[in-house]
Structure 1
């Protein structure tokens, strides 16, 4: 019997409800070895404890059982985990105390060190801080990563963006911290579409000028930089930066719009992956990377192509609410008991938006248990006052 339900129609068209029949074929489940041709990190979300006070502004209360089980799922697919990143709601509900515990718990379970963790400055209170304050905050968080024996990702810092008056101020902070680092780090360039407070990062509103600063920084600290994750949602800017990196320094794509072409590469250079969308499409990502390892570009494209409309939906403006779509799909697929998020962020997307996400997830084959997904979305519709 075909699975179907009544979903909110496009509110810009007729509105109301329309019948939707599921048509997708779920991507085959299984376990995978890590890809050999690319490094691939999935930036994972956190599961809120439904019995905790996860209202806006409250300290995060995490459901550790389901949060860690989701990471085991990612590892079983051969993906590495990028922990405590913006996908985990850094700066949007996940406080520093909870972040430290998240890093320790995840790193303790990571197989073969397949984990990198975000180190930033978000323990600083909002407001103006000195560069020395920013450096001290970074040092505290980098020490947590080092104690957990996890690779650090130096997250873009709101406090540094507010404090810096020129590219030289960025160099002062990063040069100091890279000199101290005991292992190569992943740098992190997050565009303002992901966080408006990062507008003008690296000391310029011009992406090209900012890229000059980044390249100079990396060239001067090449032994301390494993790579840089760039999230600008502009494939041409990413490729331009990738072509300027010194030998051995990786470009980790954070482009959730154009990842298939960037990971595939141009025959000379390619991007590795550090992506929030990989948490939502994990089985498809694992299958596509396996095909790429085998040189099967036809299957690679076939698996990835239907995930791109879903990714563009989840990461549509305002992009920083993409975390809601990640948690929504985790709930539909049975990885968490309820559609709740720390900071109450489950309200970040409208019901019509989530209905479109549901349709596209079906068409991408990433609803791993369609019957469960239909049942759960019906529950959400009923709670919202819709008889589906």
Structure 2
């Protein structure tokens, strides 16, 4: 009998899932539910045995959407009686959760307490947990936290220059996000290079609609770009990334906007959407090729921010062995990688143009053999990393 693990990633309006065999680490089934909780007809695509089953339905809640997902499992498989655990991607663990954790009612209560710092993510995660527990009540449920990998950042990196009493009272510090991806990718990069992480100084660029950078020294993260919330750092699909904090008060004075409005603008209307009118880098590239000045400037801002972080992190690391691109943009937008790496040429970083243009789902080097820094593309696999963490937690 197979030992299956169901992995759930509940976003604000979507549910991604995979079923992975804990022994072979092979994907048995996968699916995506879109437009959850929206006033529109959503879709569910359930893939098993090489065949995709499509459903169109209005998914009012995450619990209702999960009910439809469970019906797909009953109709098309695999048999959920073989599931030994459910792993839940959980974005924000705060100061409490520094490791993958078995879910109890007390854990759920604490996740609810963290809604204020992860308003887009933790409510969806809790809804997914409660729905999955109702559907599969007899197996353990495990929370895998995006913040866990960065929980032991050096104090100098975690601490904001605010009144200490205020930071301690409210838990204001840099938590970092995408930790599961940064952990997996840095390990995979070291393996590709035939070394251990302890031997390497690595910068990982996780570039998707959400984007983050990390500096990893000897296997330990020493800095990351996201902070108290996932809004700090790089330019993202709809998030501004770094801004002058004084902008918040400025917008309040000039526009009369309240906190919720400002938060909405910075989280959902900024980034590449605000700069170019697009969030998909493929669409941005079309505009750039057409000579659209707004798009060209937006890309320049995006690349400028990346190069700034690479330079800063290289200084903090005291050198750099490998620069690693991952996630949707990092893995697929060769033109973005080219723009970034070419800006590093004065430091002896050399791009292999042919290797960079080659599409592959495998880890690969895109730098020349003589480059002073290895530049890699390493596909992320957060689900596999989650499975390994769930298995390890079950064994404890």
TM over 0.5: no
TM-score (norm 1): 0.30
TM-score (norm 2): 0.30
